[in-house]
Structure 1
């Protein structure tokens, strides 16, 4: 037996010992001979019609008798009790109590010149009662040396049981009230703490077993409050039958809790679904009680007894299947079951009404709740140990995984390094090849330009046409020269490219002033777009020079900038007005129109106010830096 099991058993027996010290019978019974007599007889008759009044009853022959601790079972109609009290003391005010709270009708009659009736019952608010306690009690006068006969009319849906007590109206009576209510409040407090504690555990762990136990403990608490009569103190006595749903809900949650704790799904898988269905039946019966107390209350009581037997048998089977901790469950259920059986036999009139038969199941319920709580505390420790063990395994896995991951990262890094080296070699080879291609293309263009220049020297009449053709070819050659000397073989810095074209034209036409405005950002374009723009600029500048040959101070300004994802190119001269209509068939304008169309979403215009202004804009496809 481990340490936790030893502590559990120790706590159980300590609690049992404490409970047995709380009860002492201080009731004073005053009998016919002015002696304290707990064994006197009470006469009774049953009025199944419930139509007889006190005058009719007083003439009846009360031939049947029962011990004062009466248990007369379920009675149709009304039950009448008759007893006499002789007062041999100096006290003349007494409290007669039935020791129970659940009768709907509890009327006391005695004759004093006329019939005196004192009414009470579970539905009578406690603040309007003559004796303000949950037990149905009456204050009566008995003169010293006199004997008074009393009749009590009882009617209700419960079995008829109880104990008639006669006490002096003194502190002894209120002490007896205090002792019973103290026990009820103590049990209420124990169960409430259990509910709150297990609710906390459920919110922390999210384990269903703790939620089921919260449901079981809560409805157990409600059931005990209902059966003890404490509802009368909060004005809820009229709902006594409705609160009997707590019995059904309590058993329903007990079944669910038992399934989880006993691990029925693991050890008795075939019975798991059937038992869950059984728990659902109890919840349905609890709802039906709200609409009709009988016959559903009897169904609940009978089915609850059968369910307790089933759960005990299952726990025993599971114990022998190897789950040793089910022995605590067996102890708790057997304790509770024994006292429930005693109570059941008392209710049907087979056992005498005693403290053990009447209240034993309530005490046993509290004991069961405490044992279950200790079981769950042990389960919590077990889960915590499992969590720690799992965390340790996860840490080991994590460490192992990290080592494997580091090794894999090193391998991947080595592979990537090798791949990157290979890629770099390929890229270097590609760049070298492209540079060689651009170099060869540039040389080819220079050969063509040299051949044209040589022809130009021979045919002087066609000199201007040769110059224009040479400049056009040079503008294309400059792209390849630019890329050959550039670190970026794909994208062209348009400003640098245009500056080269301007320098070339300035060298060709030395008597003009060509200016480019400064730009704070550079415009990047693709290779094909750069060629188109180069040809456009070459044609516009060539036209400006060609149509202003007699202008002595010809000045041409070039502006290039970008705004909102569009690039703008403006070329303006101060020469004579360009007659566009006369030159529409010229090669230059045709080239301008065709190469403008090659630029994305482009458009261009000519303005002839104070010289000629060419404006071009197109969509930028690269970021501007």
Structure 2
């Protein structure tokens, strides 16, 4: 379904480009100028028109709703002696009551052609859906084509002067895309109608009638009913009543899918009132005739648009299911309605886009609302599956309750065991690793360094005069001092390959890596300076501070076991103490 909808969007999106093909290089390259007559247009003889009252105009423009006839003039200039044949057409001529073409050359009337809704078919030049006249230009010179147009609908002027090849090419393309659109819209409508037969849900019927009404309206707006069904005059124009049908069934569809009676009771009542107004509009159209009906349609449509806009925002605020789909669909429709309304009233420029804005807005709205219905189906299916799954889950929960309890107890035991393991390798006071973990780690670290060609630096540190510190400040302060020294060690050795251990009392070990013995010596010296720089008071220490003595052994032999490494580092530590403490001694062997 999604691929099908994408297919529709692609073809309807490219239609304006094809529709405008003859205005951009195929054959619309003749020298001509279009004029609008600004004087009294009630005259019926082109020779009575004041030439000074014509003003230049673009090929496309809108004069809005008007009851008065209008005169136009196209001055067609031929630069060759070769006879030319051109089709002069009003693209929206199918909306005009009467269109008269007068071809004048050198002050002489050459040809008169009549067209329009109320002109008998036998007197028309039946070339296609718009008002058209065949122009023949003999030799060089200027041929003036005067056009007198009368309409009950908005006066839309879209002039074309094209050769026969381009004329036929355009008509084939136009019929192809209009036929494709008609078939696609019917497919969407009947697809949802078939879903209604399965689900018996009223919104699908409302949607079906809405899409069919929109399709009829678009066929009337594009002249398709003239081409395919031969409907002229009031029989054709009465199809514009479909606008009111669109409004009625779109409102009913909205009430159903958004459950306005339940979620938005006040707006639900307003919707009912607008539906009544639209029904009265249908009755008025049958009584008043098409001229008055078309004039009244714009405020009716705008009223419905405003109500739907307010509802879509309120639905989003209320977090109603699928409200965003509706909001986007209505938003596109309102924008295109506004553009089309302004163009029809002559307030904005007539272009291919403004002429067909509502046309494409209807298609986009129909597609989005179809998505909304599909989304509802998927949501209902998901809710059913979720309910079934909930029953299965309840059964599973009951069956697995004992298993869950066993699992939780097992996890608790694993956590406790992990805590015990941590306690076994962690120093309780400082949070550093203890001697047991040092013994387990040494061989692995040594092998890694040997593989990487680096030194394993074994740093043995002892806090100077720590017994005196305890005697002088108390064991509580002593514990605090050891914690501070531990923090300095951790801060000094933060690489992932560094490990710090407390192996007893005031004695610490650091295992780290270095590329050279000089780097190993510098690591020991950095550690000593950092502890001295902490400026921990020790009245009987070196220079009145708490300091440390350090022994460093850079191991580069994979055969050196822990006992040997410890013994050598301890010897260097002894040298530091004998040398006056607060020193670093490095093994040079």
2-structure distance, mates of 1:143, 1:29: 25
Aligned with 2:53: secondary structure?
A: coil
The aligned residue for residue 274 of structure 1 is 270
Residue deviations 1:433-487, cap 9 Å, x none?
Answer: xxxxxxxxxxxxxxxxxxxxxxxxxxxxxxxxxxxxxxxxxxxxxxxxxxxxxxx
1:29 is displaced (CA, Å) by 8.7
The aligned residue for residue 108 of structure 1 is 101
1:283 is displaced (CA, Å) by 2.1
Instruction: List aligned pairs for 1:287-302, cutoff 5 A.
Output: 287-292=283-288, 293-302=290-299
The aligned residue for residue 329 of structure 2 is 332
The aligned residue for residue 188 of structure 2 is 194
The aligned residue for residue 58 of structure 1 is 49
Residue deviations 1:74-100, cap 9 Å, x none?
Answer: 222211101200123545111001111
1-structure distance, mates of 2:23, 2:193: 44
1-structure distance, mates of 2:96, 2:38: 17
The aligned residue for residue 145 of structure 2 is 150
- What 5-or-longer segments of structure 2 have no aligned partner? 394-589
TM-score (norm 2): 0.60
Residue deviations 1:497-547, cap 9 Å, x none?
Answer: xxxxxxxxxxxxxxxxxxxxxxxxxxxxxxxxxxxxxxxxxxxxxxxxxxx
Q: Which one of 320, 323, 332 corresponds to residue 323 of structure 1?
A: 320
- The answer to whether 1:263 aligns with 2:255 is no
The aligned residue for residue 217 of structure 1 is 211
Aligned with 2:156: secondary structure?
A: strand
Aligned with 2:368: secondary structure?
A: helix
Residue deviations 1:596-618, cap 9 Å, x none?
Answer: xxxxxxxxxxxxxxxxxxxxxxx
1-structure distance, mates of 2:149, 2:338: 25
The answer to which of 192-201 and 117-126 deviates more is: 117-126
1:183 is displaced (CA, Å) by 2.5
Instruction: List aligned pairs for 1:23-42, cutoff 5 A.
Output: 23-24=17-18, 25-27=20-22, 36=30, 40-42=33-35
1:343 is displaced (CA, Å) by 1.1
- The answer to whether 1:247 aligns with 2:238 is no
User: Do the aligned partners of residues 339 and 329 (structure 1) sit closer, same or farther apart at CA in structure 2, a change above 3 Å counting?
Assistant: same
Instruction: List aligned pairs for 1:73-472, cutoff 5 A.
Output: 73-89=64-80, 90=82, 92-100=84-92, 101-111=94-104, 113-114=108-109, 116-124=111-119, 129-169=124-164, 171-233=165-227, 234-238=229-233, 239-292=235-288, 293-323=290-320, 325-386=322-383
Instruction: List aligned pairs for 1:469-618, cutoff 5 A.
Output: none
1-structure distance, mates of 2:12, 2:83: 34
Aligned with 2:295: secondary structure?
A: helix
1-structure distance, mates of 2:8, 2:346: 30
1:197 is displaced (CA, Å) by 1.5
Contact 2:188–2:370 (CA<8 Å) still a contact in 1?
yes
TM-score (norm 1): 0.56
Contact 1:282–1:300 (CA<8 Å) still a contact in 2?
no
2-structure distance, mates of 1:91, 1:13: 47
1-structure distance, mates of 2:312, 2:294: 27
Residue deviations 1:557-616, cap 9 Å, x none?
Answer: xxxxxxxxxxxxxxxxxxxxxxxxxxxxxxxxxxxxxxxxxxxxxxxxxxxxxxxxxxxx
Contact 1:244–1:289 (CA<8 Å) still a contact in 2?
no
Higher relative contact order (CA 8 A, sep 6+): 2
Aligned with 2:140: secondary structure?
A: coil
The aligned residue for residue 590 of structure 1 is none
Give the length in aligned residue pairs.
Answer: 383
2-structure distance, mates of 1:16, 1:219: 20
2-structure distance, mates of 1:395, 1:324: 26
User: Do the aligned partners of residues 390 and 198 (structure 1) sit closer, same or farther apart at CA in structure 2, a change above 3 Å counting?
Assistant: same
User: Do the aligned partners of residues 350 and 147 (structure 1) sit closer, same or farther apart at CA in structure 2, a change above 3 Å counting?
Assistant: same
Aligned with 2:52: secondary structure?
A: coil
User: Do the aligned partners of residues 197 and 46 (structure 1) sit closer, same or farther apart at CA in structure 2, a change above 3 Å counting?
Assistant: farther
Contact 2:153–2:294 (CA<8 Å) still a contact in 1?
no
Contact 2:153–2:291 (CA<8 Å) still a contact in 1?
no
1:335 is displaced (CA, Å) by 1.4
- What 5-or-longer segments of structure 1 have no aligned partner? 1-6, 397-625
Aligned with 2:63: secondary structure?
A: strand
2-structure distance, mates of 1:14, 1:213: 21
2-structure distance, mates of 1:118, 1:306: 41
1:172 is displaced (CA, Å) by 1.3
1-structure distance, mates of 2:371, 2:153: 35
Contact 1:47–1:80 (CA<8 Å) still a contact in 2?
no
